[in-house]
Amino acid sequence: MIEEIRIEDMNSEEFIREKVDEISSTVGEGVAINALSGGVDSSMVTILGHKALRDRLKTCFIENGLMRQGEPQEVVSLFAELGVHVELIDAREQFFEALRGVTDPEEKREAITRTFYRDVFGELVKESNAKYLLQGTILTDVDETVAGIKRQHNVFEQLGIDTQKAFGYKIIEPLAQIRKDGVRKVAEAVGLPESVYNRMPFPGPALSTRVIGEVTPEKIELVRQATAITEEELAEVDAFLKLAILHDDRVTGMRDGQRDFGLQIEIRCWDSIDARTAEPTRLPFETIERLAGRIISEVPGVVSVTYNVTPKPPSTMEAI
Ligand code: XMP
């Protein structure tokens, strides 16, 4: 059972000091590795790890082919400015291969988990001699996985999985006692820029959580374009999460006077504090209309755009 540190009881400086000490004493003189996605959780872990281990922490950005437009290069250059070298690992083929033909949501998550932790990381760990993987699991990830709601890609020990046996390394989770609001608070205290500590969450399985049915490079490209437009059009909206989903089923539309059995994009925009519950943001109708207009004209084949008005629960934020 993990003991929660509530945001109102948390002293950020103390938390940072304790976690840096814990990482140092666990890893000892050894080498550790971590994956940075640019999100607030993995960014915070990267900084804690570098404070504790300096160049004995190898930080990688795994280019899985499922990230948003321009994301890999942006993250690598932002951390270069912060003095942290990040190695870009191209694993696109491995991920798309693992996802081929998989349609069940939990099987998709499982395929990503396996590819990430066993195949890609297993190899990197062997090459680098690392004994530990540092990762940014937060308490909400653990809760939802243990409750059987969504198998978050980064939860193992709490499910009784021995990562040493399964993948050949141990996992350290410095953020497992706090939730998203707590991570933002310590990320600000540690000196990360606002673009990081206030960054919108983005799930580990990335855009694959926003494609219903089989994930292919072509579908990811469509949802990537819809995501970029959604984030641009809603940039001024103060919401927890803004996303676009590509549906698997088609609907009859019309284009240039012809029948077009086309694609459907669903937009979701969430208000939430800690991701456990959420409400759809009450966007002005004109905003939704403008966004839909851009998606149907810029994303090939889309004839329908909808806006989700269901709260979590019973919805969850991401589609799979
Ligand atoms: P859900 O869809 O579970 O999302 O309501 C709650 C928050 O968690 C993010 N999310 C994930 N994050 N690995 C992650 O690191 C995952 O597998 C995952 N699934 C969902 C989601 O973006 C939202 O912020």
What does the alpha-carbon distance between residue 27 and residue 83 come to, in Å, rounded to a whole number?
Answer: 22
Q: Is 294 in the pocket of ligand 1 (CB under 6 A)?
A: no
- Quick one: DSSP state of residue 147? T
Is the CB of 39 inside a 6 Å radius of any atom of ligand 1? no
What atom in ligand 1 is closest to the CA of residue 278? 5
For ligand 1, what atom is nearest to the CA of residue 41?
Answer: 15
Residue 318 CA: nearest ligand 1 atom is: 2
* Nearest to 113, CA basis, from 83, 145, 139: 145
CB 199 less than 6 A from any atom of ligand 1: no
CATH 2.60.120.260 for the 7-197 domain, yes or no: no
Query: Tell me, which fold does domain 216-307 have in CATH?
Result: GMP Synthetase; Chain A, domain 3 (3.30.300)
pLDDT digits (tens, 9 = 90+) for 134-191: 999 999 999 988 888 878 878 888 888 899 998 889 999 999 999 999 999 999 999 9
Question: Which residue out of 140, 141, 158, 223 has the highest number of ligand 1 atoms within 8 Å of its CB and is therefore the one to mutate?
Answer: 141
* pLDDT per position as a tens digit, 60-98: 999 999 999 999 999 999 999 999 999 999 999 999 999
- Contact 182 CB / ligand 1 (< 6 Å): no
Distance 153 CA to ligand 1 centre (A): 9
Please tell me whether the overall predicted TM-score, pTM, comes out greater than 0.75 for this model. Answer: yes
Tell me, using a 6 A CB cutoff, whether residue 105 lines ligand 1: no
Q: Which tens digit of pLDDT belongs to each residue from 99-138?
A: 999 999 999 999 999 999 999 988 998 899 999 999 999 9
- In the reported structure, the alpha carbon of residue 223 is separated from the centroid of ligand 1 by a whole-number distance in angstroms of 17
What's the gap between Cα 105 and its chain centre?
A: 16
pLDDT at 237 over 90: yes
CB atoms within 10 A of CB 107: 14
- Extents of the domains making up the chain: 7-197, 216-307
Percent helix / strand / coil, the chain, rounded to 5: 45, 20, 35
